[in-house]
Amino acid sequence: MDRSNDPDDQEWGPFGRPLFDEASAQGLNRVGVVDIGSNSVRMVVFDGAARSPAYFFNEKIMCALGKGLAVTGRLNPEGRARALAAMRRFHLLAEGIGTGPLTAVATAAVREAEDGQDFCNEVRRETGIRIWTIDGEEEARLSAQGVLLGWPGSYGLVCDIGGASMELAEIDAGTVGRRVSTPLGPLKLCDIKGGHKARRALIRERLAAIRYQLGEQRNRLFLVGGSWRAIAKIDMARREYPLHVLHEYRMSPKSVRETVKYIEKNDIETLRARSGVSSNRIALVPYAAEVLREVVKTFKPRDIAVSSYGIREGLLYGQMPQRLRDRDPLIEACAFAESRDARVPGFGKVVYAFILPLFRNVGPERRRIIKAACLLHDVSWRAHPDYRAEDCFDNATRANLGGLKHSERVFLGLALLHRYSNSREGTRFADLNSLVTPTDEWQAEVLGKAMRFAAMLLPMRDASLGELRWFPKKKQLELRLSAEAGPLFGEVAEARFRSLCATLQAEPVVKLPR
């Protein structure tokens, strides 16, 4: 994903030419999407680097359109009124923001209700917004595409739970395979007569049928949907997990079983207070937990990952040309941040090339994070100097970035912290250090101090800084400065170079140009 076959891209080397400033990506810079679900109605406006878009606007209204649908066959009247009011508001907001026509999709509740089309017609009369009511397989496909937005090339089973239905889709090497939809949403389950025993029998029966259709699914299980995210929040609270970022949060099958038991043993208010889940959402969690337990038991995934990306992101992914889909979302987002906020856009590539000899033996996954750090090394310069290091750490660990595991978030944050500070004492890293190994911690410090030193040299897009030569067996770091960078090697630069050598436990050797 880092290299391009386009000859015009070769000068970018391992970074590849960023696509966010090309016409194919600019057309996606301000895209408005509305997802009319069985439980909530949400509008999202995507903005920024198209491959890893920023959320310019994001608002959700809990309408419970599907409440009582299994009994009445119609949309919840109160929820319908709330949803119509939300669509009026979203229409006006979209006009003000300048999204162009909103793309609106409706899922299980609207497609199943006898008055669903009447609701769509009413929205169009009052707002001009056309709602596309999609079937279960299309809903599964869009959810899977949303996962691929954050995990390009990934494989496994995507499981998206809404209020009235649950969709499953296979993904393999960046493509969506078989798809299936089943009415196992919590709003449907709470109307089942016979209590817990009847619900469990129904869930098992329907999952057994899906298991027959899809076959073995023992790879990764990707969880999409508000009820799954609520369960993940409860799992975090139960485990006292330190990083409260849901995207790419990992759970094991054992952890899921323990959290389902935890949900069964505690009352709703206790769960809500400990996890921060909204009161509207927490009421559905026990029903969703029953489903998740059986999903894990049926498909036996090797691990479980939470995705914050779903149908809305899947719609955006569907508008991307393949060339854009193939890009690394993390590197694209960091390149966009550098172009927008760094003092010298393009210098991150120079820094990367200069410090790379320190990391000759790292694998492609770690090299990718090093690239991201170099692109971000100067984007926080406007922060107050006293708080710049912590600001960098917080941004990296909490930012909306795809393609970044939690351990990688902490590694990236620590490297950027050391870009501005020799010490991490008293920072928020102390709360998150359990997510990285001691070796990773040391390597992140080396990376940060290497960037800190490189930033003292010629800050130009196409600068020639010289080269670093690292001899780990001799414990010697040799610096050979270019003629252009030589005069910049003053007292502060030398102090930063020696700090880097101290972290490497290396003897500093400096060779200035003649």
Identify the pLDDT of residue 27. Answer: 56
Answer yes or no: do 441 and 350 share one domain.
yes
Tokens of 415: 């490297």
Identify the pLDDT of residue 92. Answer: 97
Answer yes or no: do 291 and 414 share one domain.
no
CA nearest 170: which of 207, 205, 202, 141?
141
> What is d(CA 94, CA 104) in angstroms, rounded to the nearest whole number?
12
Coil, strand or helix at 499 = helix
For the chain, how big is the Rg over CA atoms in Å?
25
Strand ranges in 379-503 using DSSP code E only, listed in sequence order: 466-471, 476-481
Q: Residue 6: which pLDDT band, with cuts at 50, 70 and 90?
A: very low
Answer yes or no: do 122 and 144 share one domain.
no
Answer yes or no: do 396 and 294 share one domain.
no
**Strand 30-36 relative to strand 103-106, pairing:** parallel
CA nearest 352: which of 335, 339, 337, 328?
335
Identify the pLDDT of residue 459. Answer: 86
Domain boundary among the residues 116, 133, 150 is at 133
Identify the pLDDT of residue 512. Answer: 87
Question: The domain spanning residue 175 has which CATH number?
Answer: 3.30.420.150
Measured between its terminal Cα atoms, the distance across the chain in Å is 41
pTM: 0.90
Residue 420 has pLDDT above 80, yes or no: yes
Identify the pLDDT of residue 21. Answer: 56
Q: Find residue 305's DSSP bridge partners.
A: 222, 250
Identify the pLDDT of residue 212. Answer: 93
Q: Find the domain containing 495 and state its range.
A: 327-511
| 8 Å CB contact between 315 and 103 | yes
| 8 Å CB contact between 329 and 1 | no
Find the range with the poorest average confidence among 11-15, 219-223, 412-416.
Answer: 11-15
Tokens of 182: 């089943």
> What is d(CA 311, CA 60) in angstroms, rounded to the nearest whole number?
14
Tokens of 189: 């389950």
Q: How many CB atoms lie within 10 A of CB 205?
A: 9
Q: How many CB atoms lie within 10 A of CB 249?
A: 22
Mean pLDDT, rounded, for 434-440: 97
Is there a domain that residue 481 lies in? yes
Mean pLDDT, rounded, for 42-55: 80
Is there a domain that residue 471 lies in? yes
Answer yes or no: do 464 and 431 share one domain.
yes
Residue 4 has pLDDT above 50, yes or no: no
> What is d(CA 417, CA 396) in angstroms, rounded to the nearest whole number?
9
Tokens 């949060």, located at residue: 249
Answer yes or no: do 127 and 148 share one domain.
no
Is there a domain that residue 11 lies in? no
Identify the pLDDT of residue 2. Answer: 38
| 8 Å CB contact between 466 and 481 | yes
Is there a domain that residue 5 lies in? no
Answer yes or no: do 147 and 59 share one domain.
no
**Domains identified in the chain, total number:** 3
Is there a domain that residue 440 lies in? yes
Residue 20 has pLDDT above 60, yes or no: no
Coil, strand or helix at 173 = coil
Answer yes or no: do 210 and 262 share one domain.
yes
Residue 129 has pLDDT above 50, yes or no: yes
> What is d(CA 78, CA 72) in angstroms, rounded to the nearest whole number?
14
> What is d(CA 385, CA 168) in angstroms, rounded to the nearest whole number?
48
Residue 202 has pLDDT above 60, yes or no: yes
**Virtual torsion, Cα 424, 430, 431, 432, nearest 10 deg:** 80
Question: The domain spanning residue 377 has which CATH number?
Answer: 1.10.3210.10
> What is d(CA 356, CA 281) in angstroms, rounded to the nearest whole number?
47
Answer yes or no: do 358 and 260 share one domain.
no
The b-or-e profile of 342-372 (16+ CB within 10 A means b, else e) is beebbbbbbbbbbbbebbeeeeeebbbbbbb
Identify the pLDDT of residue 216. Answer: 82
Share the mean pLDDT of the chain: 91
Answer yes or no: do 216 and 363 share one domain.
no
Domain boundary among the residues 313, 337, 365 is at 313
Residue 488 has pLDDT above 60, yes or no: yes
Convert the pLDDT of each residue in 251-289 to its tens digit.
999 999 999 999 999 999 999 999 999 998 999 999 999
Long-range Cβ contacts of 83-86 (<8 Å, 24+ apart): 83/36, 83/41, 83/119, 84/119, 84/122, 84/123, 84/126, 85/61, 86/41, 86/43, 86/61
> What is d(CA 272, CA 37) in angstroms, rounded to the nearest whole number?
22
Is there a domain that residue 201 lies in? yes
Answer yes or no: do 120 and 142 share one domain.
no
Answer yes or no: do 454 and 348 share one domain.
yes
Is there a domain that residue 356 lies in? yes
Identify the pLDDT of residue 23. Answer: 59
Identify the pLDDT of residue 187. Answer: 93
Domain boundary among the residues 313, 345, 375 is at 313
Is there a domain that residue 321 lies in? no
Identify the pLDDT of residue 277. Answer: 95
Convert the pLDDT of each residue in 353-387 to its tens digit.
999 999 999 999 999 999 999 999 999 999 999 99
% of the chain at pLDDT higher than 90:
80
